[in-house]
């Protein structure tokens, strides 16, 4: 329903959260203006053209059990999506392990003795549980310390840059809640009666031309409804008067409005508030973000050299018709590689490849601002990725590598360091004293959101502005578990 209003909403960031809020508010008669740092919308969920194909910013699977959210997302695919079968295995000791565990697969690949030791380690954790609220103790209690160290420790510590014992258990509770070794083994041998854990969903909807299509379509709708999107504009601060949002400051001048919604990094925007007390600002200064480095590698598939092809086959599965792994992405737990996850875009949709034969792999690395890895140049990062692919034997010969490109994403993960929650909630409480000011989205509210959670925050922020009673701080990655529904 359209309601007449002359209220102006300024939105910082054109990612899933900002665009979703803008889409609903522009339809409801608000005057919406979005300010986006980059030249393209979609934030970390955009798709880009590379080597004459289409790629996402790492793997981007959309999944939600919420009907409104699903309908909203699907409506913005314009019907141009496919159901993609999910395959995401763990690469450990040069072997691929199905996740969730498949009884005999894991048994054969780990070996009988190692498997028995894993079960014993799980029993030990049941009798003498690990104490504390760290990621390590949470997972070791759910799977046993031995399986934790094989399948969780390496990837997690690479990703977060801190020990599993220093990471808050929230990360595990939100991402692998409800799953433990007993459930995994039960499901491996006896099935799960159709009630799948979210991380295990076998199929997901995916726009034929990349996940960014949804956000380009949202942008078009917003503009049709009279909204404005300013790209290449950096917002440097939020202005308030008597603790009411009145505008923003950007590198291209000041803009005034009645309502401000921020999806830009929480810490920066909170620190820009002149009317916020210094004690709360000190807490905000403690919040940290982790950066991601994506190295895209184009790999030839039409192998002329049969010697190379045979060698590749010994490591990789060839059932996808390519000589590379057939997974959408793999988690890399091997100690001899620096990357933690590799996506193979050739295994998503045919349209992403735009008629090309080669496959584009995306290797993920993570670093803090002050780590040498973050400051390496493109050539050195490209060489690191090539070395990872060749030494792990995921790619058999350097002659198969055609092109390399690097994309650095500053502040891609809010770090859930142990104890962060107490500080964060104090900041949230202090921000509640401000009027017409909303902080939503992954970086925007310091929550480890997926697209679905960020879209939901955008929709609910719009609901709140339209007069519904909802607490935005309560929306988090736990949301769909609270619904208690079954996956599709
Ligand atoms: C490698 C990787 C893999 C992922 N895989 C998945 C997946 O499989 N499934 C899934 O659902 N999600 C996945 N995600 C998460 C998903 O990308 C995010 O949850 C989603 O994009 C968050 O949306 P958002 O709007 O909250 O924030 P963002 O996408 O970060 O959008 C925020 C926008 O604000 C802009 N901005 C920032 N600062 C300013 C400023 N000062 N001024 C103006 N504009 C500014 C940014 O440029 C950006 O466009 C993944 C993320 C990464 C990095």
Task: Please name each of the domains of the chain with its CATH number.
Answer: 8-46+64-82+208-287+417-483 (3.50.50.60), 101-195 (no CATH), 289-414 (3.90.660.20)
Residue located nearest, by CA, to atom 34 of ligand 1 = 13
Strand-pair category, 235-241 with 259-262 = unpaired
Residue 180, pLDDT score: 61
pLDDT band at residue 198 under the 50/70/90 scheme: low
pLDDT band at residue 160 under the 50/70/90 scheme: confident
Strand-pair category, 329-332 with 90-92 = parallel
How far apart are the CA of 150 and the centre of ligand 1, in A?
A: 30
CA 465 to chain centre: 27
Task: Kindly compute the dihedral angle of the four CA atoms of residues 17, 18, 20, 24, in this order, to the nearest 10 degrees.
Answer: 140
Mean of all residue pLDDT scores within the chain: 87
pLDDT band at residue 308 under the 50/70/90 scheme: very low
Is the C-beta atom of 212 inside 6 A of ligand 1? no
Asked whether the predicted pLDDT for residue 428 surpasses 90, the reply is yes
Residue located nearest, by CA, to atom 8 of ligand 1 = 60
Atom of ligand 1 nearest to the CA of 35: 43
Asked whether the predicted pLDDT for residue 197 surpasses 70, the reply is no
Residue 187, pLDDT score: 62
Contact 184, 122 (CB under 8 A): no
Residue 374, pLDDT score: 97
Q: Name the percent of the chain lying above pLDDT 90.
A: 65
How far apart are the CA of 409 and the centre of ligand 1, in A?
A: 10
Contact 301, 346 (CB under 8 A): yes
Rounded Cα–Cα distance for residues 362 and 321 (Å):
19
How far apart are the CA of 453 and the centre of ligand 1, in A?
A: 11
pLDDT band at residue 186 under the 50/70/90 scheme: low
CA 342 to chain centre: 14
* pLDDT (average), residues 40-47: 98
Asked whether the predicted pLDDT for residue 16 surpasses 80, the reply is yes
Q: Which of 45, 264, 413 to mutate to test the pocket of ligand 1 (most atoms within 8 A of CB)?
A: 45
Residue 132, pLDDT score: 83
Residue 171, pLDDT score: 72
Helical ranges in 111-265 per DSSP H: 112-127, 135-143, 145-147, 153-160, 170-175, 181-190, 213-224
Is the C-beta atom of 343 inside 6 A of ligand 1? no
DSSP letter for each residue of 135-164 = HHHHHHHHH-HHHIIIIIHHHHHHHHSS-T
- Lowest-confidence region among 15-29, 308-322, 383-397, 439-453: 308-322
3 state SS of 8: strand
pLDDT in tens, 75-132: 999 999 999 999 989 898 888 988 766 667 777 888 889 989 988 998 999 999 998 8
**Closest among 443, 419, 438, 414 to 428, alpha carbons compared:** 438
Rounded Cα–Cα distance for residues 386 and 398 (Å):
8
Rounded Cα–Cα distance for residues 315 and 309 (Å):
11
Is the C-beta atom of 72 inside 6 A of ligand 1? no
* pLDDT (average), residues 207-224: 98
Contact 230, 36 (CB under 8 A): yes
Helical ranges in 28-111 per DSSP H: 67-75, 103-110
Residue 1, pLDDT score: 44
* pLDDT (average), residues 386-410: 95
Residue located nearest, by CA, to atom 7 of ligand 1 = 60
How far apart are the CA of 416 and the centre of ligand 1, in A?
A: 17
When mean pLDDT is compared over 89-103, 175-189, 329-343, 434-448, the highest value belongs to 434-448
Contact 329, 344 (CB under 8 A): yes
Is the C-beta atom of 154 inside 6 A of ligand 1? no
Is the C-beta atom of 263 inside 6 A of ligand 1? yes
Contact 415, 162 (CB under 8 A): yes
* pLDDT (average), residues 190-210: 71
When mean pLDDT is compared over 114-123, 178-187, 391-400, 433-442, the highest value belongs to 433-442
How far apart are the CA of 15 and the centre of ligand 1, in A?
A: 6
Is the C-beta atom of 442 inside 6 A of ligand 1? yes
115 token code pair: 């498997």
Residue 199, pLDDT score: 54
Rounded Cα–Cα distance for residues 300 and 294 (Å):
19
**Greatest pairwise CA separation for the chain in angstroms:** 73
Residue 310, pLDDT score: 42
- Lowest-confidence region among 52-61, 165-174, 274-283, 332-341: 165-174
**Closest among 356, 411, 395, 331 to 55, alpha carbons compared:** 356
Q: Which of 263, 344, 439 to mutate to test the pocket of ligand 1 (most atoms within 8 A of CB)?
A: 263
Is the C-beta atom of 267 inside 6 A of ligand 1? no
Atom of ligand 1 nearest to the CA of 440: 26
**Closest among 268, 274, 239, 227 to 20, alpha carbons compared:** 227
Is the C-beta atom of 218 inside 6 A of ligand 1? no
Asked whether the predicted pLDDT for residue 174 surpasses 70, the reply is no
pLDDT band at residue 154 under the 50/70/90 scheme: confident
Atom of ligand 1 nearest to the CA of 236: 41
The 8-class DSSP code of residue 90 comes to: E
Rounded Cα–Cα distance for residues 432 and 43 (Å):
26
Is the C-beta atom of 43 inside 6 A of ligand 1? yes
pLDDT band at residue 32 under the 50/70/90 scheme: very high
Residue 317, pLDDT score: 47
Contact 316, 330 (CB under 8 A): no
CA 323 to chain centre: 27
Is the C-beta atom of 15 inside 6 A of ligand 1? yes
How far apart are the CA of 14 and the centre of ligand 1, in A?
A: 9
Contact 294, 58 (CB under 8 A): yes
Is the C-beta atom of 414 inside 6 A of ligand 1? no
């Amino acid at each position: 329903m359209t309601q007449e209003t002359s209220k102006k909403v300024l939105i910082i960031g054109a990612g899933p959260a900002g665009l979703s809020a803008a889409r609903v508010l522009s339809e409801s008669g608000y005057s919406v203006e979005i300010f986006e740092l980059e030249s393209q919308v979609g934030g970390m969920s955009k798709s880009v053209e590379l080597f004459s194909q289409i790629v996402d910013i790492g793997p981007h699977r959309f999944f939600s059990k919420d009907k409104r959210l699903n309908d909203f997302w699907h409506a913005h695919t314009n019907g141009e999506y496919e159901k993609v079968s999910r395959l995401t295995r763990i690469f450990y000791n040069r072997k691929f392990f199905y996740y969730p565990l498949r009884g005999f697969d894991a048994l054969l690949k780990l070996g009988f003795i190692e498997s028995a030791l894993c079960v014993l380690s799980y029993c030990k954790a049941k009798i003498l549980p690990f104490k504390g609220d760290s990621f390590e103790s949470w997972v070791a209690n759910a799977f046993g310390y031995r399986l934790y160290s094989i399948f969780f420790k390496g990837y997690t510590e690479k990703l977060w840059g801190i020990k599993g014992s220093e990471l808050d258990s929230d990360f595990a509770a939100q991402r692998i809640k409800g799953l433990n070794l007993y459930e995994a083994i039960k499901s491996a041998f006896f099935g799960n009666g159709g009630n799948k854990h979210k991380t295990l969903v076998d199929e997901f909807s995916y726009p034929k031309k990349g996940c960014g299509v949804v956000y380009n379509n949202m942008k078009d709708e917003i503009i049709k409804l009279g909204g404005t999107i300013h790209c290449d504009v950096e917002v440097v601060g939020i202005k308030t008067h008597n603790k009411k949002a009145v505008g923003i400051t950007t590198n291209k001048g000041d803009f005034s409005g009645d309502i401000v919604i921020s999806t830009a990094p929480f810490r920066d925007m909170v620190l820009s508030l002149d009317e916020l007390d210094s004690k709360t600002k000190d807490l905000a200064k403690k919040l940290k973000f982790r950066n991601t480095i994506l190295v895209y590698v184009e790999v030839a598939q039409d192998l002329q050299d049969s010697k190379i092809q045979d060698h590749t086959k010994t490591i990789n599965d060839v059932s996808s018709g390519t000589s590379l792994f057939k997974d959408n992405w793999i988690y890399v737990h091997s100690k001899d590689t620096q990357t933690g996850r590799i996506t193979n875009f050739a295994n998503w949709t045919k349209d992403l490849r735009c008629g090309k034969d080669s496959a584009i792999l995306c290797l993920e690395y993570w670093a803090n601002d002050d780590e040498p890895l973050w400051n390496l140049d493109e050539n050195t990062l490209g060489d690191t990725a090539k070395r990872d692919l060749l030494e792990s034997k995921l790619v058999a010969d350097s002659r198969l590598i055609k092109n390399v490109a690097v994309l650095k994403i500053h502040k891609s993960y809010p770090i859930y360091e142990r104890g962060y929650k107490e500080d964060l909630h104090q900041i949230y409480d202090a921000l509640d004293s401000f009027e017409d000011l909303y902080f939503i989205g992954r970086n925007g509210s310091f929550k480890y959101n997926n697209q679905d959670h960020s879209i939901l925050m955008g929709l609910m922020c719009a609901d709140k502005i339209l007069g519904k009673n909802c607490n935005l701080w309560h929306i988090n990655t736990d949301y769909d578990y609270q619904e208690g529904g079954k996956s599709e």
